[in-house]
Chain A
Amino acid sequence: MGLLEELLLLPLAPVRGVVWLGEQVEEIARRQVTDPAMIRGQIAEIEEARDAGELSDEEADELEGPLLRQLVETSMASTSGGR
């Protein structure tokens, strides 16, 4: 969901008037940044660019690193395994 769209769907968001944003923006942005589907899409684009030669292997790895780390981290956390 777009950032703007999410803001409009906030509970108590008035049709007109001021929307109090503050932490809501950060929360929504955080959710967007960590959304696995979004991250997978970004990875797909980086890989396409890598294959097409638009990104070098180093550049592609550098961009992908935090994305993969985020996905692996989320995966570990959700298994609630690990001891």
Chain B
Amino acid sequence: MSTAALARRNPYLERPSSSSLADVVDLILDKGLVIDAYVRVSLLGIELLTIDARIVIASVDTYLRFAEAVGRLSLDRERSQPRTLPDLLEDMKPATPPKVARHVLQRGKEAGKEAVSKVEEGVHKVEQRLRGGGESGKTEDS
């Protein structure tokens, strides 16, 4: 069910006609009555996310991101056309996880190794940083 970003009556409030899947998992997996009497439901035979599956999300450091975002703000009296929210969100987002995940699904182990090497790359940069040299600490978006 798509989430209606604009309600017909009021364009300011997101008012979906029913809860999205993301809403739902929060409501029924994290909340609601827990009764200790029940039998454990058997779960689908889908692989759990594990570190071995190497779906590692190499995310950009939050502080660096904030610093960058703040640095990009234009505070002049005559502001240039404010960038749209989607533009800002695109810039500020770390590597979009679904793209990473799709990468892994399509290429299997190969992509998994790539994800791991991105983490190792990031780690290497941390080490370089701390020794006082090296390039920008920002890990590459995938």
| Contact present between A and B (CB < 8 A) | yes
B-binding residues in A (CB < 8 A): 1-5, 7-8, 14-19, 21, 25-26, 29-30, 32-34, 36, 38-49, 51, 59, 62-76, 79-83
Instruction: Give every chain B residue within 8 A of A67 (Cβ-Cβ).
Output: 49
A16 CA to B131 CA, complexed, in Å: 6
Nearest to B44 among chain A residues (CB) is A69
Contact A3-B59, Cβ < 8 Å, known A40-B25, A43-B21, A46-B98: yes
Q: Does residue B127 face the partner (Cβ distance < 8 Å to A)?
A: yes
Q: Which residues on B sit within 8 Å (CB–CB) of A42?
A: 97-98, 101
B111 interface residue, CB < 8 Å from A? Answer: no
In the assembled complex, the Cα of A7 lies from the Cα of B128 at a distance in Å of: 14
> How extensive is the interface on chain B, given as a class?
35 or more
Please indicate the chain A residues that have their CB under 8 angstroms from the CB of B43 in the complex: 69, 72-73, 76
Residues of A within 8 A of B65 (CB): 2
| Cβ-closest chain B residue relative to A27 | B51
Q: Which of A16, A36, A73, A82 contacts B38 (CB 8 A)?
A: A82
Minimal Cβ-Cβ distance residue in A for B57: A32
User: Is A16 within 8 A of B51, CB to CB?
Assistant: no
Q: Which residue of B lies closest to A30 (CB)?
A: B51
What residues on B are CB-neighbors of A63 within 8 Å? Answer: 98, 101-102, 105
Q: Which residue of A lies closest to B118 (CB)?
A: A3
Please state if B56 and A40 are interface contacts (CB–CB under 8 Å).
Answer: no
Residue of A14, A36, A40 most packed against chain B (CB within 10 A): A40
Instruction: Report whether A7 and B126 are in contact in the complex, using a CB–CB cutoff of 8 Å.
Output: yes
Could you tell me the distance in whole angstroms from the C-beta of A22 to the nearest C-beta in chain B?
Answer: 10
Cα of A39 to Cα of B60 in the assembled complex, Å: 17
Known contacts A17-B130, A47-B20; A4 and B57 CB within 8 A of each other: no
Interface residue? B73 (CB, 8 A): no
